[in-house]
Amino acid sequence: MSTLENKAVNPAADSSKFVFVKMDKDRTEHIAAPKYSYWKSVFRQFFSSKVTIATLIVVAAIILLSIFQPMFSGYDPVAHKNINDAATHFITPNFSNIKYWFGTDSLGDSMWDKIWLGSRNSMAIAFIATGITTVLGVIVGAFWGYSKSFDKIMLEVYNVFANVPFTLVVFVLMYILGSGFWQLIFAMSVTSWLNTAYFIRVQVMIIRDREYNLASRCLGTSTWNIIKNNILPYLVSVIVTSVSRDVPSFISLEVFLSWLGIGVGEQVESLGRIISFNTTYMSGTPYLFWIPVAMSAVITVTLYVVGQGLADASDPRTHM
Amino acid sequence: MRKYIWGRILRSIISIFLVTTIAMIMIYTQIPREKIFKNDSTYTKLGGDADAKTEYKYTKWEKLGYLDFVEQKDMCAVYTGSEYNACMEVDSDAVKTIVQDYVNKGYTSAVYTKNGLAYVYKDKPVLNIVWNFYHNMFQLDNPGRVTDPDNPNLERKVYAGKDYAGNFAIMCSGCDHKYLLYFDGSFPWIHQNFIMFSLGTSYPTYDGQLITDVIGTGQGTDVMTQKTFETGQTSKSALLLHSCTYKQTSTLDRLDKNKFNDNYAYCSSQKSDPSMISQSMLFGTLALLIAYVLSIPAGMSMASHKGQLRDKIGTVYINFMIAVPSLAFIFLARVLFSSLFALPDKFSILGAHDVRSYVLPIITLALLDTSSIMLWTRRYMIDQSSADYVKFARAKGLSQREIFTHHIMRNAIIPIAQSLPSNIILTICGAVITETVFAIPGTGKLLPDAIKAYNNQMIVALTLIFTALSIFSVLLGDLLITWLDPRIQLVDKEGGAV
């Protein structure tokens, strides 16, 4: 209060006390805000939870084992090397038995080898299908939300297929295409991208007409550049959320379809196939059945937890 | 609003039509037609008889609409007596010229490998099968339908009268069905046969049965009750007299004549167990009821104690249920509950008439449904709890409990109610895994079984049924929320005020 009054009383200050400063180009560019890097904040947030880190370690171990174990085991799902050696059939899991410490099944195949090859294929199917669904869904969804004329056509297409039960589509497609690895991926992604696209469309429509996008458009920025530079960065957390939901649900779907006998074929090992093959041994030698079931549950639960952690961390609102 | 609903219905029908047609075209062009015999026991029984197998295959294909098939005996049917016999010789001149005629018309000619007789066939376009499917879907029963050369004096009329039990009924002579409209004690008490709905005939599983019958009529063994027939004969019989359809005079036997005065002697039977649809719906709705009763209060309680222990436990439960594959959960639940409560782990052990058969599958199904209902109840209630009306209610001095149960709940329940119709209606589609694991004879198992058996007709019919149900249940859900909450408008009002 007093300083203000002083200023008012003495407007002409002693000019010798002041020095002219040259304009500093770097400084003028500096905005007075704390340093913020999106991805740094995402990772800081992500690694702040102990549960997430623990699950991430489990996920990493599972992924690494399922990539490398089948490379060195030399296990071939159709060879059944020990089929004529009855002594190797139905060996119960035993930690002291290094060769078969998850036991062997009715054909003498090592469950340890089977599980990892199965996990690899199940996860590969889920990851590839999620990749296709997400890439296609995000690209189409971004244009769909941005362009009003494209919206009209796409809405009609969406209305025709949106309410058809997803499992029905996959069932019928698997019937038509026949069972197999790539067939399953195709059947899973062929309609699910439409849902991702619709999900993205709604998000894009929310931010499409914000002022900064309007300004970009006035300055003549192309649609593609607006989508790429202005809109997509906004959608990162939404996309991560969608991916984190898709991967576990595709794994569950693979398990379900292969268990019914319409998923991957006889030639391909997968968790669903192993469960399906061993369902008959559920009462006699239950480990054959419960090991792959537990494995599928562990994989989906850990992936889901990590995915949720990543989705939460990628939401800028949690970075405050 | 009415215009909007009609528009939606029209779009829904177009949608169903498109999806079914695409499925049908893909199935009938992509599935090799040889495959349908893979699980046909009649075909397998023919063994090494190559000619019989060929004839069986082509006859079946003709029946299913794949092709047009003409055998030597059909070609020679234009002749009679000795000329017919001469024509029926292998490689006879008469048959050669007829075959040539067919070949000129685009047919392919071939001979049976063993007896050497000729036959021709011509593939029909897929659209033929598609057309037949839609053409036969709705048929009007009328007095001119029956053609029976042995019964030229058949009266052709529709008349009102009394049925065998003395109730009012509209009956028909000359139609397929004897009773066009009748009343009885079973839901929905009033039944009609004017319009017959058909989705084709099942093959190779449930061979020869109408698909609507496979899904909709009772299962199990015949239930015999004392019945008095129109001739006055009383005997123990399972026949459902309201279901009787016309039987050709040439096939009527003495037993039929003892029971019936007319030709309407082809009746379906009273069965001991519910149909696939009622079985699935019974399980589904009971499970759904339990799921709603459990999870709405649970979700509410989580929302009102947000961030506290019960919210955290609930969130862990929800995430666990979402992440674990249903297959793993169902097997786990079956083992756990069956050992805990000493209940049968298969439906077939005690059958459809024992309550204990229902407990395990219903608990399992209900638990599967809880996670999403809990999740959304919690989410909507938390979203609502920061609204202005909540602050106002709090300012008025209402208790937290009153605010949650009276104010927030009524708003949060609306989006939950939107999925109610589809949840109920889609129980018809059955729960595939639960029904397979517990060996329940419901509709859920039907589609995977049909796929394994190459039952194309069944797959097409189920595609149509499931698509139609899910599309219309979404519409019903939308209508339900506009009724619950008048603020919601499905149509943009003129002038833009929404």
Beta-bridge mates of residue B70: B120
Residue A116 pLDDT level (bands cut at 50, 70, 90) = very high
Tokens 């300055």 sit at which residue?
Answer: A219
Contact A175 B31 (CB under 8 A): yes
Residue B246: DSSP 8-state: -
- Are A262 and B451 inside 8 Å of each other by CB? yes
Burial of B268 from C-beta contacts in 10 A (0-12 / 13-18 / 19+): middle
Q: Residue A3's pLDDT is what?
A: 46
- Cα(B192)–Cα(B425) distance, rounded to whole angstroms? 22
The pLDDT of residue B496:
41
Contact A260 B470 (CB under 8 A): no
Q: Which residue has the tokens 């500096």?
A: A30
CB < 8 Å to A301, chain B? 319-320, 323-324
The answer to whether the Cβ–Cβ distance between B467 and A164 falls below 8 Å is: yes
The Cα–Cα gap between B75 and B86 comes to: 12
CB within 8 Å: B325 and A262:
no
- pLDDT tens for each residue of B156-172: 889 998 888 788 899 99
Q: Which of A11-25, A260-274, B331-345 has the lowest mean pLDDT?
A: A11-25
Contact A92, A103 (CB under 8 A): yes
- Report the distance separating Cα A255 and Cα A122, nearest Å: 8
Say if residue B495's pLDDT is above 70.
no
Domains defined for chain B, CATH in brackets: 24-125 (no CATH), 138-197+224-269 (no CATH), 276-444 (1.10.3720.10)
Query: Which pLDDT belongs to residue A13?
Result: 66
Q: Are B179 and B165 in contact (CB under 8 A)?
A: no
Structure tokens at A247: 């991967």
Task: Locate the chain A residue with the closest alpha carbon to B460.
Answer: A172
**A287-298 pLDDT per residue, tens:** 888 889 999 999
Supply B492's token pair.
Answer: 């943009």
User: In this model, does residue B444 exceed pLDDT 80?
Assistant: yes
Terminal Cα distance for chain B, rounded: 13
SS3 B254: helix
Q: What is the pLDDT of residue B20?
A: 93
The answer to whether the beta carbons of residues B170 and B160 sit under 8 Å apart is yes
Pairing of strands B195-197, B234-237: unpaired
CA distance B146 to A237: 66
Residue of B18, B34, B324 to mutate when probing chain A, most A C-beta within 10 A: B324
**Could you say which of A160, A255, A301 has the minimum Cβ distance to residue B327?**
A255
| pLDDT at residue number A12 | 61
Nearest to B325 among A161, A167, A252 (CB): A252
Distance CA B229, CA B241 (A): 9
Contacts of B18 in chain A (CB under 8 A): 160
Span B308-313, mean pLDDT? 92
**C-alpha angle with apex B482: B479 to B486, nearest 5 degrees?**
160
CA A250 to chain centre: 10
Substitution target in A166, A167, A168 with the highest count of B β-carbons within 10 Å is: A168
In this structure, chain A runs to a length of 320
User: pLDDT tens for residues B342-398?
Assistant: 888 888 888 888 888 888 899 999 999 999 899 999 988 888 888 899 999 999 999
**Confidence at residue A60, expressed as pLDDT on a 0 to 100 scale:** 95
> How many other C-beta atoms lie within 10 A of the C-beta of residue B280?
27
Whether the per-residue pLDDT at B103 is higher than 60: the answer is yes
Percent of chain A predicted with pLDDT > 70:
93
CB contact under 8 A, A293 and B328: yes
**What is the reported pLDDT for B481?**
87
DSSP SS3 for B222: strand
Q: Are A250 and A196 in contact (CB under 8 A)?
A: no
Interface test with B, best of A49, A156, A175, A303 (most B CBs within 10 A): A175
Q: What is the sign, positive or negative, of the torsion defined by CA atoms of B485, B487, B493, B498?
A: negative
Tokens representing residue B197 in the block = 């709905």
d(CA A97, CA A78): 24
Structure confidence by residue, pLDDT tens digits, B119-137: 999 998 999 889 989 998 9
Peptide bond into B188 cis (omega under 30): yes
Q: How far apart are CA B145 and CA B155, in angstroms?
A: 12
Q: What are phi and psi of A165, to 5 degrees?
A: -55, 130
Q: Do B448 and A171 touch (CB under 8 A)?
A: yes
Instruction: Please report the pLDDT score of residue A31 as a whole number.
Output: 64
Q: How confident is the model at residue A77 (pLDDT cuts 50, 70, 90)?
A: confident
pLDDT for res B461: 93
**Quick one: tokens of A96?**
């002291």
Instruction: Let me know: does A110 contact A102? Beta carbons within 8 Å.
Output: yes
For residue A243, pLDDT beyond 50: yes
Nearest to A163 among B326, B463, B474 (CB): B474
CA contacts within 13 A on the Cβ side of B225: 11
B419 vs B292: CA distance, rounded Å: 12
CB contact (8 A) between residue B466 and residue A294: no
Spell out which chain A residues touch chain B, with contact meaning CB-CB distance below 8 angstroms.
159-161, 163-165, 167-168, 171-172, 174-177, 248, 251-252, 255-256, 259-262, 272, 275, 282, 289, 293-294, 296-297, 300-301, 303-305, 308
Which residues from chain B sit within 8 angstroms of residue A293, using beta carbons? 327-328, 331-332
Q: Are B242 and B264 in contact (CB under 8 A)?
A: no
Which residues from chain B sit within 8 angstroms of residue A275, using beta carbons? Answer: 327
> What is the C-alpha to C-alpha distance for residues A30 and A3, in angstroms, rounded to an integer?
30
Q: Per residue in B170-191, pLDDT tens?
A: 999 888 898 999 988 877 889 8
ipTM: 0.83
Map residue B487 onto helix, strand or coil: coil
Mean pLDDT of A165-193: 89
Whole-angstrom distance, CA of residue B434 vs CA of residue B197:
29
Q: Which amino acid is at A18?
A: F
Nearest alpha-carbon partner for A276 in A254, A294, A260: A260
Res B1: pLDDT = 77
To the nearest whole angstrom, how far is the Cα of B30 from the nearest Cα of chain A? 6
Phi/psi for B227 (5° steps) reads -130, 145
CB-CB neighbors (< 8 A) of A260 in chain B: 432, 436, 448
User: What is residue B399's three-state secondary structure?
Assistant: coil
Residues of chain B in contact with residue A179, where contact means CB-CB under 8 angstroms, are none
Residues of chain A with Cβ-Cβ distance to B466 below 8 Å are 164-165, 168
In 3D, which of B400, B401, B425 has the Cα closest to residue B475?
Answer: B425
| pLDDT on residue B386 | 83
Q: Which two tokens stand for residue A299?
A: 């994989």
Q: Mean pLDDT for chain B?
A: 87
Spatial CB neighbours of B479, under 8 Å, sequence gap ≥ 6: B5
Q: What is the DSSP letter of B406?
A: I
Q: For chains A and B, what is the number of CB pairs under 8 angstroms?
A: 103
In Å, how far are A183, A320, B200, B238 from B208, measured between CA atoms? Answer: 32, 68, 9, 21
Q: B39 — phi, psi (to 5°)?
A: -115, 20
Selecting from A167, A272, A293 the residue whose C-beta is nearest the C-beta of B331 gives A293
Chain-centre distance of CA A213, in angstroms?
A: 29
Residues of B in contact with A187 (CB under 8 A): none
Residue range B461-480: mean pLDDT, rounded: 90
A2 confidence band (pLDDT: 50, 70, 90): very low
User: Mean pLDDT in chain A?
Assistant: 85
Residue to substitute from B433, B451, B456, B472, interface A, most A β-carbons within 10 A: B451
Torsion angle of the four alpha carbons B436, B447, A193, A294, in this order, in degrees rounded to the nearest 10: 20
pLDDT in tens, B48-66: 888 888 999 999 999 888 8
**pLDDT category of residue A30 using cuts at 50, 70 and 90:** low
A300 with B324: Cβ contact below 8 A: yes
Q: What is the pLDDT of residues A3-16, one digit of tens each?
A: 444 455 555 667 78
Query: How confident is the model at residue B492, as a pLDDT?
Result: 62
**Residue B145: burial class (beta carbons within 10 Å; 0-12, 13-18, 19+):** middle
* Cross-chain CB nearest to A176 (options B27, B324, B328): B27
Tell me the DSSP string of B291-307.
Answer: HHHHHHHHHHHHHHTTT
Instruction: Give the single-character DSSP code of B117.
Output: -
Mean pLDDT of B229-258: 86
Those residues of chain B whose CB sits closer than 8 Å to some CB in chain A are 11, 14-15, 18-19, 23, 26-27, 30-31, 319-320, 322-328, 331-332, 426, 429, 432-433, 436, 447-448, 451-452, 459, 462-463, 466-467, 470-471, 474
Ranges B10-19, B187-196, B282-291: which has the least confidence: B187-196
Residue B290: pLDDT band (50, 70, 90) is: very high
Q: How far apart are CA B404 and CA B377, in angstroms?
A: 12
pLDDT of A320: 67
Share of chain B above pLDDT 70, in %: 99
Between the alpha carbon of residue A164 and those of residues A161, A260, B19, the distances in Å are 6, 21, 8
- Closest-CA distance, B467 to chain A, in angstroms, reads 5
Q: Which of A160, A174, A304 sits opposite B322 (nearest CB)?
A: A304
pLDDT tens per residue, range B20-48: 999 999 999 888 888 888 888 888 888 88
B176 close to B146: Cβ distance less than 8 angstroms: yes
> Is B408 in contact with B400 (CB distance < 8 Å)?
no
Element (H, E) at B172: strand B168-173
Closest-CA distance, A75 to chain B, in angstroms, reads 25
Q: A8 vs chain B: nearest CA distance in angstroms?
A: 47
The three-point CA angle B54-B59-B64 to 5° equals 125
On whether the CB atoms of residues B245 and B294 are closer than 8 A, the answer is no
Question: What's the per-residue H, E or C state across B332-383?
Answer: HHHHHHHHHHCCCCCHHHHCCCCCHHHHHHHHHHHHHHHHHHHHHHHHHHHH
A-chain CB neighbours of B315 within 8 Å are none
Does the distance separating the beta carbons of B332 and A262 come in below 8 Å? Answer: no
List the single residue in A with minimal CA-CA distance to B458: A172
pLDDT (0 to 100) of residue B77: 85
Q: How many whole angstroms separate alpha carbon B325 and alpha carbon A274? A: 15
Minimal Cβ distance to B463: which of A163, A168, A293: A168
Mean pLDDT of B97-108: 90
